[in-house]
Every structure is written in C-alpha cells, then in structure tokens.
C-alpha cells in the first residue's frame, strides 16, 4: 500500500512538472505567427525608409 501511494505521489508530481514546463502546442503556433507578423512589419517600415532616402538622394 505504501508503495502504491509513493508511486501515485511521484506520478502526480511528474504531471505537475510537465504542466509547468511545457505549454500547449497552439501557444507556440501563436508565438511564431506573432514573430512573423512583427518581422514583416519591420521589413515594411525599413523598406519605406530606404525608398524615402533614395528619393531624397535622387533629387
């Protein structure tokens, strides 16, 4: 009986560890999408700045 309780406690501790350490996979998909969106936004802004500088240099 004592062995069963010990195994049960260790199993619960292990499951709690997993719950704290690992996040649901959809979280990573959302994070990747957000990073991709920010990267596109930054490249777009940089492209507009470069076009503006090139426009001013050609005048």
Tens of pLDDT along the chain (59 residues) come to 788 888 889 988 998 887 777 766 677 777 888 888 898 888 888 888 888 888 778 76
Residue 24 pLDDT: 66
Torsion of CA 23, 24, 25, 28, to 10 degrees: -50
DSSP 6-44: HHHHHHHHHHHHHHHH---HHHHHHHHHHHHHHHHHHHH
Judge if pTM exceeds 0.85.
Answer: no
Report the distance separating Cα 23 and Cα 28, nearest Å: 8
Report the distance separating Cα 10 and Cα 52, nearest Å: 63
């Amino acid at each position: 009986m004592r062995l069963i309780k010990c195994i049960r406690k260790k199993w619960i501790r292990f499951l709690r560890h997993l719950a704290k350490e690992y996040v649901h996979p959809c979280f990573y998909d959302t994070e990747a999408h957000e990073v991709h969106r920010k990267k596109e936004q930054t490249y777009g802004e940089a492209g507009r700045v470069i076009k503006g500088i090139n426009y001013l240099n050609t005048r």
